[in-house]
Chain A
């Protein structure tokens, strides 16, 4: 009896197992940051977030900060501590396309930048850099395209190790809307 059917069968089992592991995780899912025990001084981390780290210049949390970058109000429920660390140190490893800068130039030469919210064949809907919801008919535009998205700077050299720890401790508290 040929051993090929056995080999094929074993191979199918192996592949199935790999696919299953890939989909369900070969190991336990990492906890989201708000569920983890996170070391660090949260209050100091908040001071860094709002001061030295200048995070609000690009990000928004609650009702403060810029609407141009990713909203961090519930980042702790969406990222593990490890992912937060990586985002601080190597932020351009993963950039949400929703936050790429978009630029339009009107036929009369006005240049508007911002976030692209929606578009169709005829129009664009944006949140411009002045944080106004604006719409453009494409027929009134000379150019419209994504700007090559430069990186969020790495904080590897901007913050000390202790400051990074404290900042992550604060980020781990950003668990979304206050329910009261």
Chain B
């Protein structure tokens, strides 16, 4: 009795004239060896063809189509052999040839059965169209029972590695739904492995993680588009996301498939045409507390699983091939003000996210989950509480609602095994009276052990900050010569208007240099602690501060080009805010920002628009000196609540190995500049603000550049 079935693609009804059954007739569909319809004829059928052996029928079919079948199956077998990963041994080639016509080999390698069961299974496969001689069948049964017999261990990572089509996890656990109950899982061996992301530079045609590589340089080795031919860029396709909130998602590109988001949904698109493969629809709870819109900055991928940090503080694993959800972990309670906007970061067998919602009195944290099970692996609180180093930096119990949002994705250095994350401002934002002390680790760069989450070092850019200056700019990890010595550094442009260089192994402060007008800092001590202007405090009367609360720059990616040796960012010049503080009591789920009497707690200085602008700036990372500037946006005169996200925003920066720089801004112009000198090479007016990080990728040898503008994703390539 056959107990194994293939999918529908193999069960081709067989029409022969050899049956002598008389149990009834029915319409049979004759197919040629390629499965194309030939004719429909009335043929004798039987529910139980016992009077015509399956092998006789199979033999007849084989003989009838053998020549064509040889060609088809040989080509398929050759392909399968190159990819199957089956254990070596007699019969392997026959298995590949007979089986891969209809299905992948994972359905074989995942089974453990007795020889008789395998024989029945193969018999059934033959009845459904698998083609092979009697000798082939015997070899297949022998091979399968020898390698996948009942006495063999269950399918695990080895089998997953051997069968490239296997499921994402390669988990040892047989759980169908609750994936990977075994905690021995150490990461996938197929799909986008940790090793691939570590070596992302070896496949510049892909964009495997939020920052391009773990170093987050946002620099691509692709060089097909050059300063000489950039003028030939043309629009290739558009994806119109059905979404009206700011479109801040940086896509991933893996082997010709582009993964991005449409609001809260995840979509998989063909990277050459923008056509949809699948969509995963997600509806966050209506109680989600969102200070700044329903935003997602991107996804992560590990193996064949995508990870999405939803705005209602759920982390969701999604099958990258089909869009089916795999698990859903509640990271925090959204009704208490928690949200997530980050693109997750996968490291080894973990997926790491951070929570946001500092304007609602959260206690922020960075948290790692087992990427297979969704169970928590470690957590680092961004406000130091009892037992944490730095607890004394919070007066009373103010740490409980001290904010410390994690708005943007961190970076990872395999050499130090540290992951670097920027932490947001303390809460309440504008009134530090309720939280005396430095308020660690808000407005701080933290370096955490990637395996345990333990704090290795930190650098606080703004102790006791009252200006809403998140330190969540992406840390760029570069190797430079510093004062004549090789040094591994972090390059980091902060919202407070300063460019920093830190030693990424120790956190040693190497440089702090303003890149925009500022009036709060009068220097640094020998450890890099900022020396504040004594007047730089939020007040009930109002205090004028440069830069404004949205900062000299913001969350969007800067870039570092190893070719030019320059650090690039989008800088906001001459923006200022008058900060007012007011009393604030904590109520769960309500805003907790300490605003003053003005409805928004602050107001921008109104001045000439020409004084305020956003510009691409190239800095010498050794000194912080500006090398060149390209004006991107003119100033805006008023902070209005509608569209304020886009009012302050700009795209991130992308640089390439052909010395190109791509970026855009809120005025809707996407530009290609010469990264060496800032000269404009090409531009496209796209009609909507750009507040994401452009990426570049290649498919079939053609380079593409992708940017969101307004509510759509635009993809360009050479004419």
Chain A residues with a Cβ under 8 A of chain B: 46, 49-54, 56-58, 60-69, 71-73, 95, 99-101, 103, 105, 109-111, 113, 117-118, 120, 122-123, 125, 127, 129-133, 135, 143, 145, 147-153, 157-158, 173-180
Q: Which of these, B13, B175, B326, contacts A177 with CB under 8 Å?
A: B326
Residues in A with CB closer than 8 Å to B12 are 147-148, 150
Q: Check: B9 CB closer than 8 A to any chain A CB.
A: yes
The answer to whether A51 and B111 touch across the interface, beta carbons within 8 angstroms, is yes
Which residue on B lies nearest to A112, using beta carbons? B76
Give A75 to B128 CA distance when docked, in angstroms: 26
Give A92 to B276 CA distance when docked, in angstroms: 29
Give A166 to B121 CA distance when docked, in angstroms: 21
Per DSSP, chain A at the interface is: loop
Stretch at the interface among B266-274, B294-302, B394-402, B441-449: B266-274
Tell me whether A150 and B324 are in contact in the complex, defined as CB-CB below 8 angstroms, given that A111-B72, A133-B257, A157-B1 are known contacts.
no
The answer to whether B177 and A73 touch across the interface, beta carbons within 8 angstroms, is yes
Give A173 to B257 CA distance when docked, in angstroms: 33
The answer to whether A54 and B374 touch across the interface, beta carbons within 8 angstroms, is no
Q: Which of these, A51, A109, A174, contacts B176 with CB under 8 Å?
A: A174
Nearest CB of B to A162, in Å: 15
Which residue on B lies nearest to A122, using beta carbons? B273
Q: Which of these, B8, B104, B117, B175, contacts A130 with CB under 8 Å?
A: B104
Nearest CB of A to B28, in Å: 10
Q: Check: B599 CB closer than 8 A to any chain A CB.
A: no
The answer to whether A69 and B7 touch across the interface, beta carbons within 8 angstroms, is yes
Q: Check: B6 CB closer than 8 A to any chain A CB.
A: yes
Q: Check: B413 CB closer than 8 A to any chain A CB.
A: no
Q: Which of these, A71, A110, A143, A173, contacts B324 with CB under 8 Å?
A: A71
Which residue on A lies nearest to B125, using beta carbons? A57
The answer to whether B9 and A101 touch across the interface, beta carbons within 8 angstroms, is yes
Which residue on A lies nearest to B329, using beta carbons? A180
Which residue on B lies nearest to A55, using beta carbons? B5
The answer to whether A53 and B3 touch across the interface, beta carbons within 8 angstroms, is yes
Give A92 to B59 CA distance when docked, in angstroms: 27
The answer to whether A63 and B179 touch across the interface, beta carbons within 8 angstroms, is yes
Q: Check: B136 CB closer than 8 A to any chain A CB.
A: no
Nearest CB of A to B698, in Å: 15
Q: Check: B110 CB closer than 8 A to any chain A CB.
A: yes
Residues in A with CB closer than 8 Å to B305 are 63
Give A176 to B178 CA distance when docked, in angstroms: 9
Stretch at the interface among B162-170, B531-539, B589-597: B162-170
Stretch at the interface among B33-41, B496-504, B661-669: B33-41
Fill in one digit per residue for B179-210: 1 if any A CB lies within 8 Å of its CB, else 0.
11000000000000000000000000000000
Q: Check: B29 CB closer than 8 A to any chain A CB.
A: yes
Nearest CB of B to A161, in Å: 15
- The interface centre, meaning the residue of A51, A64, A100, A129 with most chain B CB atoms within 10 A of its CB, is A64
The answer to whether A148 and B277 touch across the interface, beta carbons within 8 angstroms, is no
Tell me whether A150 and B277 are in contact in the complex, defined as CB-CB below 8 angstroms, given that A63-B167, A63-B169, A133-B257 are known contacts.
no
